[in-house]
Chain A
Amino acid sequence: MILEAHDLVVRYPGASRPALDGVSLRLEPGRLVAVTGPNGSGKTTLVRALVGLVPPARGVALLDGRPVASWRRSELAKAVGVVTQREEIVFPLTVAETVMLGRYPRLGPLAPEGPDDRRAVWDALRRCDVEGLADRSVDTLSGGEWQRVRVARALAQEPRVLVLDEPTASLDLRHEMELLELIRALVADGLAGLVVTHQLNLAARFADRLLLLSEGRVAADGAPGDVFRKEVLASVFQWPVTIGRTDDGAPQVVPVRVGYQPAAISHQPSAVSPQPSATGSDGRPLTADG
């Protein structure tokens, strides 16, 4: 056990329902948990609550058994690295300077960076395969390179937990796979991993455990094969789906074409009967069809 949440409830002022409503979660070394769900289901709020940036109305988030609210931010940053959804560059630094910012919680206000700091930065750059970009200005990087640099900065914190919020949101197929393979490898090295993503199929492919959120509540929680049930996904996403499998056995979801039926779609998801589609409902591999 490293980072865990028990029965978290978070309310934003003026909102009609809680942003999070009774969510529990456990992150452990060597395991990757994916949090997924529709837009507005509370995924980012869960990340913020896990690291103490929003106070829970009920429940608690614990790091090493201690409530995260009682940790100093610099102490927390030594244990948990977070890569946020977006980061706008106003004053561009070089890649090496950006990754060195990950050493902030370990550096005083004036002392120059020491050999330990340089080694941590160098290791992080190499681990994320961006050491060749060290002297480049970050505003000249591609989307994939920039994401890997941000992961490297989190690694330079030498954390035990790595949390990534929609890390592949703007990446193409190759960079998306590259980044998730990197995350998987980091977790295999012993990090506790949490990835927030609305990309169900990626989550099912890479995570050991899936947490499916719907309107702030846990709709399903378990191994990808247990969470990827047709009725569950159709009801959470309010769209008919079929489930297939990849060659390596990961469940994959395919939304069904139903034509344009606004009333049926938005009000009676369960009444829409999924049409048999290109993907066999007998669970034949998707790859065989496509």
Chain B
Amino acid sequence: MKRAARAAGGSVRRAALVLAVLVPASLAVGIWAGPVSLTPAELWAGLAHAQGAAGPIVRELRLPRVLLAFLVGGSLSVVGAALQALLRNPLADPYLLGLSGGAGLGAVIAIALNPGWPWAVPAAAFAGAVGAVALVYRLSVVAGRRLDPRVLLLAGVVVGSFAGAIMTAVVSVSEAAELRRAFLWLLGGFGGASWRAVAVFAAYAVVPLAALLLSGRALDLLAIGEETAQHLGADVERQKRLVYAATSLLTAASVAVCGIVGFVGLVVPHAIRRAWTPLHRRLLPVAFFAGGAFLVLADALARTVARPLELPVGAVTALVGVPLFALLLRRNLT
């Protein structure tokens, strides 16, 4: 027991140390990477004194982009971890419950209608995601007043498929240019990042993120099963609703600012579970910083590998995340 307590303490310090290196390093790489090559001196001058050609590039393009990617990556991996516990399903990710379908449908309709308002696509994606979530929730509590995670999962998949079908229909009757735009949007990216987007997302994410981070112990109980969780003292119905609402709102907002970025919410929580701890009180904060750093690095890669073209960041997260995760799986099995 004493050994276990010491081991846990050591692992927390190790996690903190790794993050203390990883997070600043990822932010630095994120600011440095891009279509225009800048020397460290130019970067510093731009960042600290807004001097030279680097000033606007660093301050107006790269910095907000990196911060947005960090916030979104952190949020998505916290959401993924929480949903995996809520649904007691290791395959759960932030988009599982119909959110991606709803958001995609909203965005594609906005792109097809092309109203010319710059926030039309994110606003429509957000509305679509929230609409899908509300519908899934409504379907899941029909039988009695309980929220049944198994029904939630089914309803999510069904609503997502339905929205996906409508989306396919809308896309297939669209013009080629719109089609490409919609396709790229669905794959996710931070090309549209701005200080305003960072501010709106940060202000919005504070409450649901705090709600999830404070639910760590309750998520430990939900993950072992509802009946046992109740016997151990958890207010299960309240916790389920809270987690569902917080994860939905966070995912909807992240879809609105950057489209659908897969894989972060699935892989980062698992990696931390395996490498450090499955206890959510520690896992969730670590997942936030690790997920943020991961997405910043993935976005840096997306901007640089095919310069001056940009790859969709969702493709990069999978390309980088899958081999990393496979390695981790193997290391833990042997």
Residues of A bordering B, CB below 8 Å: 51, 53, 72-78, 80-82, 84, 87-94, 96-97, 101-102, 104-105, 107, 109-110, 118, 121-122, 125, 131, 134-135, 153-154, 157
Contact = CB atoms under 8 A, between A and B. Distances in A.
7 closest cross-chain pairs (CB), A and B: A77-B233, A105-B233, A82-B231, A74-B233, A96-B4, A109-B214, A91-B278
Contacts of B235: 72-74
Contacts of A91: 84-85, 90, 223, 273, 278
A73 B226 CA distance: 13
Nearest to B144: A13
Given A73-B234, A82-B231, A153-B232, 10 more contacts: A80-B231, A81-B231, A87-B224, A91-B223, A93-B278, A97-B4, A104-B220, A110-B214, A110-B281, A154-B231
Given A107-B217, A109-B216, A134-B4, A101 B232 contact: yes
A97 B221 contact: no
B1 A87 contact: no
Nearest to B5: A118
A80 B231 CA distance: 8
Contact of A134 (B1, B88, B233, B281): B1
Contact of A90 (B7, B90, B215): B90
Nearest to A138: B224
Contacts of A101: 220-221, 224, 232
Interface of B: 1, 3-5, 7, 84-85, 88-90, 214-218, 220-221, 223-225, 227-228, 230-236, 273, 278-279, 281
B230 A97 contact: no
A104 B233 contact: yes
A102 B4 CA distance: 17
Classify the interface of chain B: helix, strand, loop or mixed.
helix
Contacts of B4: 94, 96-97, 134-135
B1 A96 contact: yes
B234 A104 contact: yes
Nearest to A92: B278
Nearest to A97: B279
Nearest to A100: B279
Contacts of B228: 84, 87
B101 to A, nearest CB: 26
A89 B220 CA distance: 12
28 contacts: A74-B233, A74-B234, A74-B235, A75-B233, A77-B231, A77-B232, A80-B231, A87-B225, A88-B88, A89-B224, A91-B84, A91-B85, A91-B273, A91-B278, A93-B279, A101-B220, A101-B224, A102-B232, A104-B218, A104-B221, A104-B234, A109-B216, A110-B216, A118-B5, A135-B3, A135-B4, A135-B7, A157-B233
A92 B233 CA distance: 20
Contacts of A82: 231
A157 B232 contact: yes
B227 A134 contact: no
A256 to B, nearest CB: 37
A72 B233 CA distance: 8
A231 to B, nearest CB: 36
B8 to A, nearest CB: 8
Contacts of A135: 3-4, 7
A72 B235 CA distance: 8
A30 B5 CA distance: 33
